Structure 1
Amino acid sequence: MIDFQLDQLYGWMNALLWPLFRIAGLVSLAPVLGESSIPMRLKVGFAVLCAIVVAPLAGPMPSVPPASYAGLLIALQQVVIGMALGLCMRLIFTATMMAGEFIGLQMGLAFASFFDPATGANTAVLSRLLNLVAMLIFLAVNGHLLMLDGLIRTFTILPVGASLNPNGWGVLLDWSAQLWISGMLLALPLVIVLLTINLALGILNRTAQQLSVFAVGFPISLTTGLIMLAIVLPQSSDFLTRFFEEGYQAMARIAQGLAGQ
């Protein structure tokens, strides 16, 4: 006859539930995995599958009844940790979309926008293009697997049930500064060239006032921008790969900051 106690049942449940909440928080905001085009059932199934694999590696879990106030607090804590880690990687793709906004503004394509189901708002065409390129590179370098590996390592740095240190949120805010810096660096080659062309057209307009700059400026800016995109996009893989590596390191720093290390 098989006999087990209530504490053993709680232990089996907690071994799966607490990692599941942290993984679900990551999947809700992580790039590629958390896209709105992916059905919710598929996201939940993927999170459960990952939790089953991660549970033996996550270490001992606190023996707290899941339906108690302490259990609900731990569940909320794990969801917040996972969302912070997912937001850390999401900022990389937001930076690429911001670079597309900068480039489109200089090329005269700022008006060319359409509804993006991933963001739920109107997005510039070049922003969507750069975002797709970044996602393809992310998948090509196995970034999704490295992101999950970084999440698994956080269970060693920040065990389930440990108190959170507010310094971790400061690390996340510091990392968010890369949203502007990296977005501008990615767009800088095209912005410089297109700004030079606009300055040249401005000087031309002052010297030859009979020439309509508005008639010739847009085709020149658009053609030059497309040529520069064809040159710069193949070279952006190294920049984005380094950016992804910095994102993995930022995930570890956030976990260490939350752990008070």
Structure 2
Amino acid sequence: MLELIPEFPAFLLVFARVTSFFLMLPLFSYRTIPAQFKVGLGFFLSILMYFSMDVPVLQIDSNYYLLILKEVLTGILIGLVAFMILSAIQVAGGFIDFQMGFAIANVIDPQTGAQSPLMGQYFYIISLFFLLMVNGHHLILDGIYNSYQFIPLEQGWLPLGNAKIAEYVIRSFSTMFMIALQMSLPVVGSLFLVDVALGILARTFPQLNIFVVGIPVKIGVSFIILLVVMGTMMLAVSKLFETMLTTMRGLMSLFGGL
């Protein structure tokens, strides 16, 4: 019955890519969002995208199943790269937690079910609010729509064996760590100076229990530094959003052979 509808094969490919994006994309992939809502949102977005672009007329044959697999891989891989770039926020929080002494107390992220550092989870929630405030989720959805310009529906397969793709992903991964280090450097550098001062104090007053005094001092200094540099960290987060969108676009270009 569905094969008699000429638009159905192409629409199914669009629907497969959009819903696969939602499996890995930040904010859309959380387990607290009902699956019915994700499928419904993907369905209506697929309808809007299908009727706003030129799609080829496809037939359901043996090659069509490879096209479905290609669409699912496209959505998952590009969403995974976007999630990987945005994970720099939690990595930066992990660096800060290690210096503050909070590294021994991780929390369970209810959104992903994985353990995450305390400050990393705090920064991540603030960054998601910031993403919504600047309409970054609209840019993510716009990236899904523009992906069909780079990777057309009729493209047979993704060039996963291309060495440029592996190099690009590794470079993006290193960029994520560099941004995480830049975000955490003010607090980590300040705490390093506090450690040096506490070491000098311990040598000057041996009777002082530096382990009892040091931890509250480091925690207090950390919160003061965070209040001072929070605006600068949000600038780094906005740069991270730009990097995420640029990385998604570059990976789509490589997948499309451009």
Paired residue for 1:165? 159
* Counterparts of 2:3 and 2:90, CA distance in 1: 49
Q: 1:59–1:155: 8 Å Cα contact kept in structure 2?
A: no
Deviations 1:69-104 (A, max 9, x none): 422211111111111221122123311001111101
Paired residue for 2:14? 19
Paired residue for 2:109? 116
Paired residue for 1:199? 196
| TM-superposed deviation, 1:126 | 0.8
- Within 5 Å, which residues of 2 pair with 1:73-112? 73-112=66-105
- Unaligned residue ranges in structure 2 (runs of 5+): none
* Counterparts of 1:219 and 1:86, CA distance in 2: 40
Q: Summarize the Cα distance change of 1:208–1:44 in structure 2 as closer, same or farther, 3 Å threshold.
A: same
Q: 2:93–2:117: 8 Å Cα contact kept in structure 1?
A: yes
| TM-superposed deviation, 1:150 | 1.2
Q: 1:59–1:156: 8 Å Cα contact kept in structure 2?
A: no
| TM-superposed deviation, 1:179 | 2.4
Question: Do structure 1's residue 252 and structure 2's residue 256 form an aligned pair?
Answer: no
Q: 1:213 aligns with which of 185, 210, 214?
A: 210
| TM-superposed deviation, 1:6 | 8.0
* Counterparts of 2:210 and 2:2, CA distance in 1: 80
TM-score (ref. length: structure 2): 0.92
Paired residue for 1:54? 49
RMSD (Å) for aligned C-alpha atoms: 1.8
Of all paired residues, the percent bearing the same amino acid is 27
Paired residue for 1:189? 186
| TM-superposed deviation, 1:7 | 6.5
| TM-superposed deviation, 1:240 | 1.2
Paired residue for 2:142? 149
* Counterparts of 2:45 and 2:237, CA distance in 1: 26
Paired residue for 2:33? 38
Q: How many residues align?
A: 254
Q: 2:23 aligns with which of 28, 32, 57?
A: 28
Paired residue for 1:130? 123
Letter in 2 for 1:244: F
| TM-superposed deviation, 1:207 | 2.4
